Chains A and B, each alone.
Chain A
Amino acid sequence: MGNESTTWRLADLPFFAGLDEEFIELFADCAHTETTSFGHYLFFEGEPAERFYIIRTGKVALQTSAGSLGFFTIETLGDNDTIGWSWIFPPYKWSLTARSLSPCDLIVFDARCLRAKCEANTDFTYELMKRTSAVSAERLRAARFALLNQLA
């Protein structure tokens, strides 16, 4: 990607709110768009995590294998949600499986490409970590409240 229209589109996504154009361009350099049909597996638990996604439109379930009982949905994500931060830390493996629950328009970021940008630019890494931490913290809050509701 990396063209001007893409840069503008990325800037409109909540994940990139307030981010310098210079950094948005670094993200754009590592991004491409993909469309998927219903029931498509984006990735499987335990596989190498080499991607990071933002859902432009659509729904994706994060699932975990419950052995012979099949898959259990942990969380359902929708428009503008980000998927996956397993690529940031070793061992760079997905901790969950992601499956589309509708046709989806996705922005896909190549993790190797982002990691290379991070190594070259601490300011970029900081912005990335700050945003990713905020997303994970939000997921943790959601999961803990789901757990409390389950216990109530």
Chain B
Amino acid sequence: MPEQDQLFLFLRKNTFFDDLSDEHLRELLDLARLQSIPAGEHFMRIGDPATYLAVLRQGVANLGVMSEGGRVVVVDKLERHAVIGWSAIVPPHEWSYDAVALSELDFVLFDAVRLREKCEREHKFGVQMMTCIARTITRRLTATRMSLLNNAL
């Protein structure tokens, strides 16, 4: 990819990757490809195999749970720098949410199988990747629990 250095800086600025060393971030970048998704596409479905970890470069999407009537109960609004797809690395490797593109989306995308293989093969890389994910999950868990609490009181 011609924009390799640009992509590196883009990911380096993202706090999600704070636990990944420069060296490992460059290795992660070797697995990257760029993908666009048209506006309106329902691109993640709960329970489907999680096939990638992705960072949003441009566009807006809703993350949530699709009701039977096709309405999405929104859990999170995804914007530039949003990281989706930690399910690609954490068992049972299935999407936990639905996601719908509200505009055209540009992603940097990392294939789940290749990423998992790299983690399993190179544990130093794997530990740093898991730490990035665990911190994010912990932060979101705390935020979700606080919302639960605030709604209950």
Residue of B nearest to A126 (CB): B123
Q: Report which of B86, B90, B151 forms a contact with A151, defined as CB distance below 8 A.
A: B151
Q: Report which of A66, A88, A146 forms a contact with B134, defined as CB distance below 8 A.
A: A88
Q: Report which of B96, B119, B127, B151 forms a contact with A137, defined as CB distance below 8 A.
A: B96
**B148 contacts chain A at the CB level, 8 A cutoff:** yes
Interface residues of A in 74-107 (CB under 8 A from B): 74, 85, 88-89, 95-96
Which of B7-15, B25-33, B137-145 interfaces with chain A? B137-145
* A129→B144 contact, CB < 8 A: no
* B133→A140 contact, CB < 8 A: no
Minimum Cβ distance to chain B for residue A144 (Å): 6
User: Which chain A residues border B137 with CB–CB below 8 Å?
Assistant: 133, 136-137, 140
* B134→A136 contact, CB < 8 A: yes
Q: Please indicate which of the listed interface residues B73, B87, B152, B153 has the most CB atoms of chain A within 10 Å of its own CB.
A: B152
Q: A123-B123, A125-B123, A126-B127 are in contact. Are A132 and B144 (CB under 8 A)?
A: no
User: Which chain B residues border A146 with CB–CB below 8 Å?
Assistant: 148
Residue of B nearest to A132 (CB): B134
Q: Tell me what chain A mostly uses at the interface: helix, strand, loop, or mixed.
A: helix
* A66→B148 contact, CB < 8 A: no
Residue of B nearest to A141 (CB): B96
Number of interface residues of A (CB under 8 A): 33
* B134→A133 contact, CB < 8 A: yes
Interface range, B side: 20 to 34
* A148→B131 contact, CB < 8 A: no
Minimum Cβ distance to chain A for residue B110 (Å): 17
Give chain A's interface residues, CB within 8 Å of chain B: 64, 66, 69, 72, 74, 85, 88-89, 95-96, 122-123, 125-126, 129-130, 132-134, 136-137, 139-141, 143-148, 150-152
Give chain B's interface residues, CB within 8 Å of chain A: 65, 73, 75, 86-87, 89-91, 96, 119, 123-124, 126-127, 130-131, 133-135, 137-138, 140-142, 144-145, 147-149, 151-153
Q: A129-B134, A148-B75 are in contact. List 9 more A-B contacts (CB 8 A).
A: A88-B134, A122-B127, A126-B119, A126-B127, A129-B126, A134-B90, A136-B137, A146-B148, A148-B65
23 contacts between A and B (CB under 8 A): A64-B145, A64-B149, A69-B153, A74-B145, A126-B127, A130-B91, A132-B134, A133-B133, A133-B134, A133-B137, A134-B90, A134-B91, A136-B141, A139-B141, A140-B137, A140-B140, A140-B144, A141-B96, A145-B65, A146-B148, A147-B147, A147-B148, A148-B75
Q: Which 4 A-B pairs have the closest CB atoms?
A: A129-B130, A126-B123, A143-B144, A136-B137
